[in-house]
Amino acid sequence: MGLWQYLRGTPGPSGFGSASTAEQIASKFGNSIRGKVVLITGGNSGLGLETARVLAGSGAHIVLPCRSEQKAQQAKQTILATCNNPDAKITTLQLELANLASVRQCAQDFNKLGLPLHVLINNAGIMALPKRTLSDVSQELQFSVNHLGHFLLTNLLLDSLKSSGTAQDPARVVILASSAHAAAPKSGIQFQDVTFQKGYSPWAAYGQTKLANVLHAQELNRRLQADNAHVTAVSLHPGVIATNLARHMPTIQQKLFSVFLPFFKSIPQGAATTVWATLSPEFKSRGGVYLSDCNVSPTNHRMAQDEDTAKKLWQLSEDLTALEE
Beta bridge partners of 296: 291
Pick from 62, 160, 72: which is nearest to 108 by CA?
Answer: 160
Does residue 6 carry a catalytic annotation?
Answer: no
| Rounded Cα–Cα distance for residues 25 and 303 (Å) | 31
Residue in 273, 289, 274 with CA at minimum distance from that of residue 12: 273
Return the closest-CA partner of residue 45 out of 80, 79, 91, 96: 79
Partners of 175 in the β-ladder: 122, 235
Contact yes or no for 46/267 (Cβ under 8 A): yes
How many C-beta atoms lie closer than 10 Å to residue 320's C-beta?
19
CA atoms of 110 and 121, how far apart (whole Å): 14
Report the relative pairing of strands 290-292 and 119-122 from DSSP bridges.
unpaired
**In this structure, which amino acid lies at residue 106?**
C
**232, 164 contact by CB (below 8 A):** no
What whole-number distance in Å separates Cα of residue 214 and Cα of residue 217?
5
Q: In this structure, is the dihedral angle defined by the CA atoms of residues 180, 184, 189 and 193, taken in order, positive or negative?
A: negative
Given 6, 200, 206, 290, the catalytic residue: 200
Cβ atoms within 10 Å, residue 308: 8
Q: Which helix (H) or strand (E) covers residue 104, if one does?
A: helix 100-113
In Å, how far are 88, 123, 141, 148, 196 from 187, measured between CA atoms?
Answer: 46, 26, 21, 20, 14
The catalytic residues are 200
